[in-house]
């Protein structure tokens, strides 16, 4: 789902942008605020791939952002190998629970070309700018840290769908990241093809390691995140919705895409 542009004057956006540039240039913030729920890290992912003598680093940040105003700027403030800091701009993904949005920041550092960029361990802080006020999620002053080939890190959530894709035969595979809260656990995809008039379950299985592009990620990784995989059989032509149930230590956690459910229109046979 994409966010449609709102017909409005561009002046407020340009004024906010000029104010942001000025504040960053001076190293000052007019109204800083430690984020409570205005912006929160959900997931960070970093992996270094190598193929035919070339290497590159893929970095992705997934953020939960409070919709304080239509005009907003979402960034990840990331430390560079030389010690400087840069703002990596985010892109709107879609709505979350009422009053919140999902934003994503992606960046690739290739080893080739006129200006090759080295892979790097990550230190970063998500930032939100609304109406001249800067909010940041700085992990209570410790900043966030992720090794260059650590794979996923989950924060503010215990379970999150990574990806889902159709097989040629109409089956759906779902990849799920969970925090390893205990050895004994259950991960299940709950799905429907009739808008929850009825529901079905597909158990997920633990994956000890997996590839990401041309990188290999251990499971669990150094951030104690495990990869689980579920398989939903034979839903060709159906409109499918699903959520993930994670049971561990007597607790049940859900990822239902922040109340939106995960949705797929079945492939045409």
pLDDT at 3 over 70: no
Instruction: List the chain domain ranges.
Output: 11-154, 159-265
For the stretch 184-222, pLDDT in tens is: 999 999 999 999 999 999 999 999 999 999 999 999 999
3-class SS of residue 76? strand
Domains 11-154 and 159-265 alike in fold: yes
For the stretch 125-137, pLDDT in tens is: 999 999 999 999 9
For the stretch 142-186, pLDDT in tens is: 999 999 999 999 999 999 999 999 888 888 999 999 999 999 999
| Mean per-residue pLDDT, 100-115 | 96
Residue 239's pLDDT is: 85
Residue 85's pLDDT is: 98
Residue 267's pLDDT is: 63
Element holding 13 (H helix, E strand): helix 11-26
Mean pLDDT over the full length of the chain: 88
Residue 268's pLDDT is: 57
pLDDT at 9 over 70: no
Residue 6's pLDDT is: 39
Residue 34's pLDDT is: 79
Q: Please give the CATH number for the structural domain made up of 11-154.
A: 2.60.40.2440
Instruction: Report the C-alpha gap between 88 and 84 in whole angstroms.
Output: 13
Burial grade of 122 (CB within 10 A; 0-12, 13-18, 19 or more): buried
For the stretch 16-51, pLDDT in tens is: 444 444 444 434 344 667 778 999 999 999 999 999
Q: Quick one: CATH architecture of 159-265? A: Sandwich (2.60)
For the ranges 80-89, 185-194, 228-237, 247-256, the lowest mean pLDDT is seen at 228-237
Residue 70's pLDDT is: 96
| Mean per-residue pLDDT, 110-130 | 96
For the stretch 248-268, pLDDT in tens is: 999 999 999 999 999 987 665
The dihedral of CA 73, 145, 138, 82: what is its sign? negative
Residue 234's pLDDT is: 80
**Among residues 137, 155, 158, 162, which one has the least CA distance to residue 227?**
162
Backbone angles phi, psi at 26, to 5 degrees: -85, -10
Q: What is the pTM of this model?
A: 0.86
Residue 208's pLDDT is: 97
* C-alpha 134: how far from chain center: 21
Residue 25's pLDDT is: 40
């Amino acid at each position: 789902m994409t966010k449609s542009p709102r017909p409005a004057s561009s002046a407020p956006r340009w004024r906010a942008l000029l104010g942001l540039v000025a504040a960053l240039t001076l190293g000052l913030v007019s109204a800083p605020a430690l984020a409570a729920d205005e912006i929160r890290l959900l997931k960070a992912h970093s992996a270094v791939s190598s193929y035919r003598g070339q290497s590159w680093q893929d970095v992705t940040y997934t953020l939960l952002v409070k919709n304080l105003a239509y005009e907003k700027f979402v960034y990840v403030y990331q430390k560079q190998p030389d010690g400087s800091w840069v703002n990596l701009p985010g892109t709107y993904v879609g709505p979350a629970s009422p009053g919140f949005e999902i934003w994503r920041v992606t960046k690739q550092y290739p080893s080739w070309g006129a200006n090759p960029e080295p892979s790097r361990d990550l230190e970063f802080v998500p930032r939100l700018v609304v109406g001249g006020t800067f909010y940041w999620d700085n992990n209570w002053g410790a900043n966030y840290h992720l090794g260059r080939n650590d794979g996923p890190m989950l924060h503010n959530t215990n379970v999150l769908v990574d990806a889902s894709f159709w097989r040629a035969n109409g089956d759906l595979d779902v990849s799920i990241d969970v925090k390893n809260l205990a050895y004994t656990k259950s991960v299940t995809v709950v799905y429907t093809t009739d808008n929850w008039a009825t529901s079905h379950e597909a158990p997920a299985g633990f994956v000890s390691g997996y590839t990401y592009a041309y990188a290999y990620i251990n499971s669990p990784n150094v951030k104690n995140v495990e990869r689980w995989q579920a398989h939903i059989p034979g839903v060709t032509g159906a409109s499918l919705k699903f959520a993930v149930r994670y049971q561990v230590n007597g607790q049940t956690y859900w990822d239902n895409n922040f109340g939106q459910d995960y949705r797929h229109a079945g492939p045409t046979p």
